[in-house]
Chain A
Amino acid sequence: MPQKLDQLRESPSQTAGPYVHIGLTPNALGNHGIYPDDLGTTPIKPGARGEAITIIGHVRDGAGMILRDALIESWQADAAGLYPSPNERRGKADPNVTGWARILADFDTGDWVLKTIKPGAVTLPQGGVMAPHIALWIVARGINIGLQTRIYFEDEAEANADCPVLARIEHKPRVQTLLAKKVSTGQYRFNIVLQGDDETVFFDM
Protein backbone atom coordinates (compact mmCIF):
# COMPACT_ATOMS: atom_id res chain seq x y z
CA MET A 1 0.00 0.00 0.00
CA PRO A 2 1.32 3.47 -0.81
CA GLN A 3 1.37 6.23 1.79
CA LYS A 4 -1.89 7.93 2.62
CA LEU A 5 -2.58 11.46 1.35
CA ASP A 6 -3.35 13.68 4.34
CA GLN A 7 -6.23 15.27 2.53
CA LEU A 8 -9.93 15.79 3.08
CA ARG A 9 -12.80 15.76 0.61
CA GLU A 10 -14.85 18.90 0.08
CA SER A 11 -18.21 18.73 1.85
CA PRO A 12 -20.71 17.60 -0.78
CA SER A 13 -23.10 20.31 -1.89
CA GLN A 14 -26.83 20.19 -1.23
CA THR A 15 -29.51 22.40 -2.70
CA ALA A 16 -30.19 25.73 -1.00
CA GLY A 17 -33.84 24.72 -1.12
CA PRO A 18 -36.98 26.85 -1.30
CA TYR A 19 -36.37 28.59 2.01
CA VAL A 20 -32.87 29.95 1.41
CA HIS A 21 -34.05 33.50 2.11
CA ILE A 22 -34.79 32.59 5.73
CA GLY A 23 -31.09 32.10 6.24
CA LEU A 24 -29.42 34.56 3.90
CA THR A 25 -31.83 37.50 3.52
CA PRO A 26 -34.38 37.25 6.35
CA ASN A 27 -35.28 40.95 6.24
CA ALA A 28 -36.08 40.81 2.52
CA LEU A 29 -38.45 37.94 3.32
CA GLY A 30 -40.13 39.92 6.09
CA ASN A 31 -38.46 38.07 8.98
CA HIS A 32 -37.33 41.14 10.86
CA GLY A 33 -35.76 41.36 14.29
CA ILE A 34 -32.88 38.89 13.97
CA TYR A 35 -30.31 40.95 12.02
CA PRO A 36 -30.56 44.73 11.68
CA ASP A 37 -29.84 44.46 7.94
CA ASP A 38 -29.37 41.73 5.37
CA LEU A 39 -25.82 41.26 4.11
CA GLY A 40 -24.86 42.17 0.58
CA THR A 41 -27.68 44.58 -0.24
CA THR A 42 -25.18 46.56 -2.35
CA PRO A 43 -21.63 45.96 -3.67
CA ILE A 44 -20.74 49.67 -3.52
CA LYS A 45 -20.81 52.57 -1.08
CA PRO A 46 -21.41 56.23 -1.92
CA GLY A 47 -18.36 57.66 -3.63
CA ALA A 48 -17.35 54.45 -5.43
CA ARG A 49 -15.21 55.35 -8.42
CA GLY A 50 -16.28 54.29 -11.90
CA GLU A 51 -19.31 54.24 -14.16
CA ALA A 52 -22.54 53.60 -12.29
CA ILE A 53 -24.47 50.82 -14.00
CA THR A 54 -27.69 48.90 -13.47
CA ILE A 55 -28.08 45.34 -14.66
CA ILE A 56 -31.53 43.78 -14.76
CA GLY A 57 -32.22 40.16 -15.56
CA HIS A 58 -34.08 37.00 -14.73
CA VAL A 59 -33.33 33.31 -14.39
CA ARG A 60 -35.30 30.99 -16.68
CA ASP A 61 -35.59 27.20 -16.46
CA GLY A 62 -35.70 24.57 -19.21
CA ALA A 63 -39.49 24.76 -19.44
CA GLY A 64 -39.40 28.53 -20.01
CA MET A 65 -40.54 29.40 -16.52
CA ILE A 66 -38.93 32.34 -14.72
CA LEU A 67 -37.60 31.50 -11.26
CA ARG A 68 -38.99 33.52 -8.40
CA ASP A 69 -36.93 31.80 -5.76
CA ALA A 70 -33.41 32.23 -7.18
CA LEU A 71 -30.68 33.83 -5.10
CA ILE A 72 -27.57 35.11 -6.86
CA GLU A 73 -24.34 36.31 -5.34
CA SER A 74 -22.04 38.60 -7.32
CA TRP A 75 -18.35 39.33 -6.90
CA GLN A 76 -16.45 41.93 -8.87
CA ALA A 77 -13.37 44.11 -9.01
CA ASP A 78 -13.35 47.90 -8.62
CA ALA A 79 -13.08 50.26 -11.60
CA ALA A 80 -9.31 49.73 -11.66
CA GLY A 81 -9.65 45.95 -11.77
CA LEU A 82 -8.58 45.39 -8.14
CA TYR A 83 -10.50 43.09 -5.81
CA PRO A 84 -11.57 44.42 -2.39
CA SER A 85 -10.30 41.23 -0.79
CA PRO A 86 -7.72 40.68 1.96
CA ASN A 87 -5.87 38.35 -0.42
CA GLU A 88 -5.62 40.85 -3.29
CA ARG A 89 -1.86 41.36 -3.63
CA ARG A 90 -1.69 43.63 -6.68
CA GLY A 91 -2.78 46.81 -4.92
CA LYS A 92 -5.39 48.41 -2.70
CA ALA A 93 -8.93 48.47 -4.04
CA ASP A 94 -11.33 51.42 -3.83
CA PRO A 95 -12.53 51.48 -0.18
CA ASN A 96 -16.02 52.32 -1.42
CA VAL A 97 -16.33 49.09 -3.35
CA THR A 98 -17.19 45.99 -1.31
CA GLY A 99 -17.51 43.99 -4.53
CA TRP A 100 -20.00 41.44 -3.22
CA ALA A 101 -23.79 41.44 -3.33
CA ARG A 102 -26.76 39.18 -2.80
CA ILE A 103 -29.30 39.66 -5.55
CA LEU A 104 -32.80 38.25 -5.22
CA ALA A 105 -35.25 37.36 -7.93
CA ASP A 106 -38.36 39.39 -7.22
CA PHE A 107 -40.86 37.16 -5.40
CA ASP A 108 -43.60 38.18 -7.89
CA THR A 109 -41.92 38.94 -11.23
CA GLY A 110 -38.63 37.04 -10.98
CA ASP A 111 -36.63 40.07 -12.16
CA TRP A 112 -33.42 40.80 -10.30
CA VAL A 113 -31.54 44.10 -10.23
CA LEU A 114 -27.86 44.81 -9.57
CA LYS A 115 -26.83 48.43 -9.11
CA THR A 116 -23.05 48.70 -9.13
CA ILE A 117 -20.08 50.23 -10.91
CA LYS A 118 -18.59 48.75 -14.04
CA PRO A 119 -15.55 46.73 -12.99
CA GLY A 120 -12.19 47.25 -14.64
CA ALA A 121 -10.26 44.64 -16.59
CA VAL A 122 -8.27 42.27 -14.36
CA THR A 123 -4.61 41.76 -15.15
CA LEU A 124 -3.58 38.27 -14.12
CA PRO A 125 -0.27 37.78 -12.27
CA GLN A 126 0.58 34.89 -14.60
CA GLY A 127 -0.10 37.10 -17.65
CA GLY A 128 -3.20 37.90 -19.66
CA VAL A 129 -6.01 40.33 -19.01
CA MET A 130 -9.56 39.28 -18.18
CA ALA A 131 -12.16 41.59 -19.72
CA PRO A 132 -14.40 43.49 -17.28
CA HIS A 133 -16.76 40.99 -15.72
CA ILE A 134 -18.84 40.19 -12.65
CA ALA A 135 -18.66 36.64 -11.28
CA LEU A 136 -22.02 35.11 -10.32
CA TRP A 137 -22.99 32.18 -8.13
CA ILE A 138 -26.61 31.03 -8.46
CA VAL A 139 -28.52 28.89 -5.98
CA ALA A 140 -32.18 27.89 -5.73
CA ARG A 141 -34.47 24.96 -5.08
CA GLY A 142 -33.66 22.31 -7.68
CA ILE A 143 -30.04 23.45 -8.11
CA ASN A 144 -27.92 20.77 -6.46
CA ILE A 145 -24.65 22.70 -6.57
CA GLY A 146 -24.28 26.47 -6.98
CA LEU A 147 -23.84 27.50 -10.62
CA GLN A 148 -20.84 29.65 -11.54
CA THR A 149 -21.16 32.06 -14.44
CA ARG A 150 -20.00 35.58 -15.35
CA ILE A 151 -21.50 38.77 -16.67
CA TYR A 152 -19.38 40.31 -19.43
CA PHE A 153 -20.38 43.45 -21.33
CA GLU A 154 -21.27 43.58 -25.02
CA ASP A 155 -19.77 47.09 -25.31
CA GLU A 156 -16.31 45.77 -24.35
CA ALA A 157 -15.78 43.90 -27.61
CA GLU A 158 -12.04 44.54 -27.77
CA ALA A 159 -11.35 43.39 -24.21
CA ASN A 160 -13.71 40.43 -24.61
CA ALA A 161 -11.80 39.29 -27.69
CA ASP A 162 -8.59 39.06 -25.63
CA CYS A 163 -10.09 37.52 -22.47
CA PRO A 164 -8.43 34.18 -21.66
CA VAL A 165 -11.59 32.91 -19.96
CA LEU A 166 -13.92 33.66 -22.87
CA ALA A 167 -11.29 32.10 -25.13
CA ARG A 168 -11.87 28.77 -23.38
CA ILE A 169 -15.42 28.56 -24.67
CA GLU A 170 -15.19 26.21 -27.60
CA HIS A 171 -18.61 26.91 -29.08
CA LYS A 172 -18.12 30.58 -29.94
CA PRO A 173 -21.80 31.44 -30.45
CA ARG A 174 -22.33 30.58 -26.77
CA VAL A 175 -20.11 33.50 -25.68
CA GLN A 176 -23.17 35.66 -26.44
CA THR A 177 -24.90 34.12 -23.43
CA LEU A 178 -22.37 35.83 -21.15
CA LEU A 179 -22.73 39.34 -22.61
CA ALA A 180 -24.93 41.87 -20.86
CA LYS A 181 -26.88 43.72 -23.54
CA LYS A 182 -26.78 47.50 -23.39
CA VAL A 183 -30.30 48.89 -23.13
CA SER A 184 -29.33 52.56 -22.68
CA THR A 185 -26.49 54.49 -21.08
CA GLY A 186 -25.51 52.63 -17.91
CA GLN A 187 -28.39 50.14 -18.28
CA TYR A 188 -27.87 46.50 -19.16
CA ARG A 189 -29.98 43.37 -19.49
CA PHE A 190 -28.60 39.94 -18.54
CA ASN A 191 -30.91 36.94 -18.58
CA ILE A 192 -29.71 33.61 -17.28
CA VAL A 193 -31.03 30.44 -18.94
CA LEU A 194 -30.50 27.30 -16.88
CA GLN A 195 -31.31 24.80 -19.62
CA GLY A 196 -32.17 24.73 -23.32
CA ASP A 197 -31.00 25.96 -26.71
CA ASP A 198 -29.90 29.36 -25.42
CA GLU A 199 -28.47 27.92 -22.19
CA THR A 200 -26.03 30.22 -20.38
CA VAL A 201 -22.42 29.10 -20.20
CA PHE A 202 -21.64 27.81 -16.71
CA PHE A 203 -18.10 27.36 -15.48
CA ASP A 204 -16.19 24.84 -13.41
CA MET A 205 -13.22 26.87 -12.22
Chain B
Amino acid sequence: MTDAAHGPLIGRDRLWHPPAYTAGYKTSVTRAPSRALVAMGSTLSEETGPAFGRDMLGEMDNNLILNFTGQPAVGERIIMHGRVLDENARPVPNVLVEIWHANAGGRYRHKKDGYLAPLDPNFGGCGRTVSNAEGRYEFLTIRPGAYPWPNGVNHWRPMHIHISVFGHGFGQRLITQMYFEGDPLIARCPIVNTIPSQEAISALIAPLDMNASIPLDCLAYKFDIVLRGRRQTFFENRREGM
Protein backbone atom coordinates (compact mmCIF):
# COMPACT_ATOMS: atom_id res chain seq x y z
CA MET B 1 0.00 0.00 0.00
CA THR B 2 1.33 3.43 -0.87
CA ASP B 3 0.56 6.57 1.11
CA ALA B 4 -0.77 9.93 -0.02
CA ALA B 5 2.73 11.22 -0.81
CA HIS B 6 4.22 8.31 -2.74
CA GLY B 7 3.44 6.25 -5.79
CA PRO B 8 2.25 6.88 -9.33
CA LEU B 9 -0.42 9.51 -9.85
CA ILE B 10 -3.84 8.52 -11.10
CA GLY B 11 -4.31 9.80 -14.64
CA ARG B 12 -6.39 12.93 -15.11
CA ASP B 13 -9.91 12.47 -16.43
CA ARG B 14 -9.75 14.91 -19.30
CA LEU B 15 -13.49 14.59 -19.98
CA TRP B 16 -14.23 15.84 -16.46
CA HIS B 17 -12.00 18.91 -16.69
CA PRO B 18 -12.67 21.71 -19.16
CA PRO B 19 -11.14 21.05 -22.58
CA ALA B 20 -8.47 23.51 -23.78
CA TYR B 21 -10.62 24.88 -26.59
CA THR B 22 -13.90 26.41 -25.42
CA ALA B 23 -15.41 28.78 -27.97
CA GLY B 24 -17.68 30.41 -25.37
CA TYR B 25 -14.64 31.62 -23.44
CA LYS B 26 -13.03 33.57 -26.24
CA THR B 27 -9.49 33.94 -24.94
CA SER B 28 -9.10 30.16 -25.03
CA VAL B 29 -9.53 30.09 -28.81
CA THR B 30 -5.94 31.08 -29.64
CA ARG B 31 -4.40 29.74 -26.44
CA ALA B 32 -5.63 26.15 -26.71
CA PRO B 33 -3.15 23.55 -27.98
CA SER B 34 -4.57 21.93 -31.12
CA ARG B 35 -2.47 18.75 -31.05
CA ALA B 36 -3.29 15.82 -28.80
CA LEU B 37 -1.51 15.77 -25.43
CA VAL B 38 1.26 13.16 -25.18
CA ALA B 39 -0.08 10.85 -22.48
CA MET B 40 1.95 8.52 -20.27
CA GLY B 41 2.20 7.44 -16.66
CA SER B 42 3.67 9.86 -14.15
CA THR B 43 7.42 9.83 -13.47
CA LEU B 44 9.44 11.07 -10.51
CA SER B 45 9.24 14.58 -12.00
CA GLU B 46 5.47 14.58 -11.45
CA GLU B 47 5.45 12.46 -8.28
CA THR B 48 7.85 14.71 -6.36
CA GLY B 49 7.25 18.37 -5.65
CA PRO B 50 8.22 21.35 -3.54
CA ALA B 51 7.27 21.45 0.15
CA PHE B 52 6.21 24.56 2.07
CA GLY B 53 6.47 24.73 5.84
CA ARG B 54 4.08 26.53 8.13
CA ASP B 55 7.09 28.52 9.39
CA MET B 56 7.12 30.65 6.24
CA LEU B 57 3.59 31.92 6.95
CA GLY B 58 2.94 35.30 8.51
CA GLU B 59 0.36 35.49 11.29
CA MET B 60 -2.13 37.37 9.09
CA ASP B 61 -1.51 35.49 5.84
CA ASN B 62 -4.91 33.75 5.89
CA ASN B 63 -6.81 36.83 7.10
CA LEU B 64 -7.62 38.88 4.00
CA ILE B 65 -9.72 41.30 6.05
CA LEU B 66 -6.65 42.54 7.91
CA ASN B 67 -3.53 41.41 6.01
CA PHE B 68 -3.10 44.49 3.81
CA THR B 69 -3.09 47.51 6.12
CA GLY B 70 -4.20 46.14 9.47
CA GLN B 71 -7.49 48.06 9.09
CA PRO B 72 -10.55 45.99 8.13
CA ALA B 73 -11.58 45.58 4.50
CA VAL B 74 -15.18 46.49 3.54
CA GLY B 75 -17.65 43.71 2.77
CA GLU B 76 -19.62 40.76 4.05
CA ARG B 77 -17.32 38.91 6.43
CA ILE B 78 -16.94 35.21 5.63
CA ILE B 79 -14.93 32.20 6.66
CA MET B 80 -13.87 29.99 3.76
CA HIS B 81 -12.83 26.59 5.03
CA GLY B 82 -12.52 22.99 3.95
CA ARG B 83 -10.16 20.11 3.43
CA VAL B 84 -7.59 19.23 0.82
CA LEU B 85 -8.25 15.60 -0.13
CA ASP B 86 -7.07 13.26 -2.83
CA GLU B 87 -9.10 11.02 -5.12
CA ASN B 88 -8.77 8.20 -2.59
CA ALA B 89 -10.56 10.50 -0.10
CA ARG B 90 -7.45 10.78 2.05
CA PRO B 91 -6.48 14.13 3.58
CA VAL B 92 -3.51 15.89 1.97
CA PRO B 93 -1.64 17.54 4.85
CA ASN B 94 1.05 20.23 4.73
CA VAL B 95 0.31 21.66 1.31
CA LEU B 96 0.24 25.30 0.28
CA VAL B 97 -3.18 26.82 -0.50
CA GLU B 98 -3.21 30.32 -2.01
CA ILE B 99 -6.29 32.40 -2.83
CA TRP B 100 -7.01 35.71 -4.54
CA HIS B 101 -10.20 37.57 -5.34
CA ALA B 102 -11.90 40.87 -6.12
CA ASN B 103 -13.05 43.25 -3.39
CA ALA B 104 -16.66 43.58 -2.25
CA GLY B 105 -17.44 45.84 -5.22
CA GLY B 106 -15.99 43.41 -7.75
CA ARG B 107 -12.71 45.30 -8.35
CA TYR B 108 -9.23 43.75 -8.37
CA ARG B 109 -6.08 45.39 -7.10
CA HIS B 110 -4.40 45.11 -10.51
CA LYS B 111 -3.22 47.72 -12.98
CA LYS B 112 -5.22 46.05 -15.75
CA ASP B 113 -8.55 46.22 -13.94
CA GLY B 114 -10.31 49.48 -14.70
CA TYR B 115 -13.80 48.58 -13.49
CA LEU B 116 -15.98 51.41 -12.13
CA ALA B 117 -16.12 50.01 -8.61
CA PRO B 118 -13.47 51.64 -6.42
CA LEU B 119 -10.49 49.96 -4.82
CA ASP B 120 -10.80 49.32 -1.11
CA PRO B 121 -7.72 50.89 0.47
CA ASN B 122 -7.70 48.11 3.07
CA PHE B 123 -8.11 45.11 0.79
CA GLY B 124 -5.05 43.59 -0.87
CA GLY B 125 -6.82 40.61 -2.35
CA CYS B 126 -4.66 37.58 -1.58
CA GLY B 127 -4.03 35.11 1.22
CA ARG B 128 -2.26 31.83 1.82
CA THR B 129 -2.09 29.00 4.30
CA VAL B 130 -0.76 25.45 4.67
CA SER B 131 -3.16 22.55 5.25
CA ASN B 132 -2.91 20.95 8.68
CA ALA B 133 -2.39 17.29 9.56
CA GLU B 134 -6.05 16.55 8.70
CA GLY B 135 -5.81 18.43 5.41
CA ARG B 136 -7.88 21.31 6.78
CA TYR B 137 -7.43 24.95 5.79
CA GLU B 138 -9.29 28.18 6.51
CA PHE B 139 -9.38 31.81 5.49
CA LEU B 140 -11.16 34.84 6.85
CA THR B 141 -12.10 37.23 4.09
CA ILE B 142 -14.91 39.29 2.58
CA ARG B 143 -17.30 37.99 -0.01
CA PRO B 144 -16.12 39.26 -3.43
CA GLY B 145 -18.51 41.11 -5.70
CA ALA B 146 -19.60 40.01 -9.17
CA TYR B 147 -18.22 42.07 -12.05
CA PRO B 148 -18.64 42.50 -15.82
CA TRP B 149 -15.96 41.41 -18.28
CA PRO B 150 -15.55 41.92 -22.02
CA ASN B 151 -16.22 38.40 -23.36
CA GLY B 152 -19.76 38.86 -24.63
CA VAL B 153 -21.62 42.17 -24.70
CA ASN B 154 -23.01 41.74 -21.20
CA HIS B 155 -21.12 38.94 -19.50
CA TRP B 156 -20.61 38.92 -15.75
CA ARG B 157 -18.41 36.79 -13.57
CA PRO B 158 -20.26 35.29 -10.60
CA MET B 159 -18.79 35.94 -7.18
CA HIS B 160 -15.71 33.74 -7.01
CA ILE B 161 -12.46 33.08 -5.21
CA HIS B 162 -9.42 31.83 -7.17
CA ILE B 163 -7.58 28.96 -5.49
CA SER B 164 -4.13 27.56 -6.18
CA VAL B 165 -3.22 24.26 -4.50
CA PHE B 166 -0.09 22.15 -4.33
CA GLY B 167 -0.02 18.43 -3.65
CA HIS B 168 3.05 16.44 -2.72
CA GLY B 169 3.81 15.98 -6.43
CA PHE B 170 4.23 18.63 -9.11
CA GLY B 171 1.78 16.67 -11.28
CA GLN B 172 -0.99 17.38 -8.76
CA ARG B 173 -0.72 21.14 -9.29
CA LEU B 174 -4.15 22.71 -9.62
CA ILE B 175 -5.76 26.11 -9.97
CA THR B 176 -9.52 26.44 -9.80
CA GLN B 177 -12.26 28.80 -8.60
CA MET B 178 -14.80 28.58 -5.82
CA TYR B 179 -18.35 29.82 -6.42
CA PHE B 180 -21.08 30.62 -3.90
CA GLU B 181 -24.25 28.62 -3.42
CA GLY B 182 -27.31 30.34 -4.87
CA ASP B 183 -25.54 32.82 -7.17
CA PRO B 184 -27.71 33.16 -10.33
CA LEU B 185 -24.67 34.27 -12.36
CA ILE B 186 -23.00 30.84 -12.07
CA ALA B 187 -25.19 29.26 -14.73
CA ARG B 188 -24.63 32.24 -17.05
CA CYS B 189 -20.83 32.32 -16.83
CA PRO B 190 -18.83 31.27 -19.92
CA ILE B 191 -15.82 30.34 -17.74
CA VAL B 192 -17.93 28.14 -15.46
CA ASN B 193 -19.46 26.61 -18.57
CA THR B 194 -16.08 25.52 -19.93
CA ILE B 195 -16.66 22.60 -17.52
CA PRO B 196 -18.52 19.90 -19.45
CA SER B 197 -20.92 18.53 -16.82
CA GLN B 198 -23.26 19.98 -14.24
CA GLU B 199 -21.92 17.41 -11.77
CA ALA B 200 -18.40 18.79 -12.14
CA ILE B 201 -19.61 22.39 -11.90
CA SER B 202 -21.39 21.53 -8.65
CA ALA B 203 -18.04 20.42 -7.23
CA LEU B 204 -16.91 24.07 -7.36
CA ILE B 205 -19.95 25.57 -5.59
CA ALA B 206 -19.43 26.12 -1.89
CA PRO B 207 -22.47 25.66 0.34
CA LEU B 208 -23.31 28.10 3.10
CA ASP B 209 -22.13 26.43 6.30
CA MET B 210 -24.10 27.88 9.23
CA ASN B 211 -22.42 25.50 11.67
CA ALA B 212 -19.04 27.08 10.97
CA SER B 213 -20.33 30.66 10.98
CA ILE B 214 -19.65 32.79 14.03
CA PRO B 215 -22.73 34.47 15.60
CA LEU B 216 -22.73 38.26 15.31
CA ASP B 217 -19.46 38.07 13.35
CA CYS B 218 -19.36 36.23 10.03
CA LEU B 219 -20.93 33.63 7.75
CA ALA B 220 -19.03 30.56 6.51
CA TYR B 221 -18.72 28.62 3.27
CA LYS B 222 -17.27 25.12 3.02
CA PHE B 223 -15.07 24.21 0.08
CA ASP B 224 -13.25 20.89 -0.17
CA ILE B 225 -10.50 20.63 -2.78
CA VAL B 226 -9.72 17.26 -4.36
CA LEU B 227 -6.30 16.61 -5.89
CA ARG B 228 -5.15 13.74 -8.08
CA GLY B 229 -4.63 10.59 -6.02
CA ARG B 230 -2.03 7.86 -6.17
CA ARG B 231 -2.49 4.26 -7.15
CA GLN B 232 -2.55 2.14 -4.05
CA THR B 233 -1.98 -1.52 -4.82
CA PHE B 234 0.83 -3.48 -3.29
CA PHE B 235 1.68 -4.87 -6.70
CA GLU B 236 2.56 -1.38 -7.91
CA ASN B 237 5.66 -1.49 -5.76
CA ARG B 238 6.74 -5.08 -6.29
CA ARG B 239 10.44 -5.61 -6.44
CA GLU B 240 11.97 -6.64 -9.71
CA GLY B 241 11.37 -10.30 -10.47
CA MET B 242 8.33 -10.67 -8.21
A31-B85 Cα distance, complex, nearest whole Å:
31
- Across the interface, name the chain A residue whose C-beta is closest to B223: A11
CB-defined contacts of B176 to chain A, threshold 8 Å: 11-14
Contact between B226 and A135, CB atoms less than 8 A apart: no
Per the 8 Å Cβ criterion, residues 72-120 of B in contact with A are 85-89, 96, 98-100, 108-113
Determine whether the beta carbon of B11 is less than 8 Å from that of A19. no
Is A161 close to B, CB under 8 A? no
Interface size of B by CB at 8 A reads 87
B166-205 to A contact mask, C-beta < 8 Å, 1/0: 0011110111110000000000000110110000110110
> By CB atoms of chain B within 10 A, which of A6, A9, A122, A141 has the most?
A9
Q: Please give me the residue from chain B that is nearest to A26 by CB atom.
A: B126
CB within 8 Å of B: which residues of A?
6-24, 26, 29-31, 33-36, 39, 61-63, 65, 67, 73, 75, 77, 83-89, 98-100, 122, 124-125, 130, 133, 135, 137, 139-148, 150, 165, 168-170, 174, 194-196, 199-205
Q: Other than the known A135-B46, A170-B38, what 20 A-B pairs have Cβ atoms closer than 8 Å?
A: A9-B13, A10-B16, A12-B176, A12-B201, A13-B17, A15-B28, A26-B126, A31-B109, A39-B96, A84-B50, A85-B48, A85-B50, A87-B6, A100-B50, A143-B28, A144-B17, A144-B20, A145-B17, A146-B173, A194-B30
Residues of B within 8 A of A (CB): 5-6, 11-14, 16-20, 22, 25, 27-35, 37-52, 56, 58, 61, 67-69, 85-89, 96, 98-100, 108-113, 124-126, 128, 162, 164, 168-171, 173-177, 191-192, 194-195, 200-201, 203-204, 225-229
